[in-house]
Amino acid sequence: MKSKFSIPNYQKYLFMLFAFILLLSCATVPLTGRKQLNLIPSGQMLAMSFQQYDQVKKESKLSANQKNVAMIKKVGAGISSAAENFLREKGISMEFEWEFILIENDEMVNAWCMPGGKVAFYTGILPYTKNEAGVAVVMGHEVAHALAQHGNERMSQGLLVQLGGLTLAKALEQKPAATQNLFMQAFGIGAQVGFLLPYSRKHESEADYIGLVLMAKAGYNPQEAVSFWERMSQSGGAAPPEFLSTHPAHETRINDLKKRLPEAMKHYKKQ
């Protein structure tokens, strides 16, 4: 006797169930209004974030330059305050335990922010930031990633695509190394060409946009963002083609920032 429940129908119901789960998991990026997929509960995301941040601190050499450390913390305090005010204005509730460190590594031109407000700068980026305003460009951009929950979105995509749709708890249990690597990639400690690439460029552009508003609200001139990226574009070395890069091409980024400046300047009050 042939079953009435054919394979095509079975697949259809699975697809409908999957679509329903995705619908329930949708969130909205503040300011841009873009819909995003966030499958991981914030509590789990924060727990993993704090654990990984502690591990990074243990394995890294923290800068002993008190002047630079103080600058990172000062700018961080201003940007984080602006971020919380920004979220209150949008009626969004998020948990933060802000912390800002400067890692001694002159070869690493990088900075990142994990969920919950755990921020790290590397000394290698300071020659390009030049001053407090330059640091605010990078700080605003990285904090914007946390506000927009880009890390959760990247991890959610990775769990679906790379780890077969496992939940975070199951992934940590069954594939801890792969899950940890996925987490670090989600926050800019790695890049790949493939399914996730276009979303990463979109995240960078969103973070540029939100970051401009945050630095303006914190009292830093958002015009400095253009100057910072012009310095980065002149830093030497051949940049990869844009379709192979997780970041927008420098020219694209600078042009987009210039278009956003009039809006950001409305939030700027010189302190």
Kindly list the catalytic residues.
142
For residue 90 the two structure tokens come to 């949008």
DSSP letter at 40 equals S
CA 198/CA 221 separation, integer angstroms? 30
**26 - beta bridge partners?**
37
How far apart are alpha carbons 154 and 112 in whole angstroms? Answer: 14
Complete DSSP assignment for 53-93: HHHHHHHS-B---HHHHHHHHHHHHHHHHHHHHHHHHHT--
Report residue 46 as tokens.
């924060």
Rounded to whole angstroms, the Cα distance separating 116 from 146 reads 7
| Calpha distance 98→27 (Å, rounded) | 23
45 Cβ neighbours under 8 A, 6+ residues apart: 115, 151, 152, 155, 168
Taking the C-alpha atoms of residue 6 and residue 180, their distance in angstroms, rounded to an integer, is 39
Per the CB < 8 A criterion, the answer to whether 39 and 25 are in contact is: yes
Q: Nearest CA to 119 among 140, 104, 98, 137?
A: 98
Q: Which residues pair with 28 in a beta bridge?
A: 35
Q: How would you list the strands of the sheet with 118-122, edge to edge?
A: 99-103, 118-122, 111-114
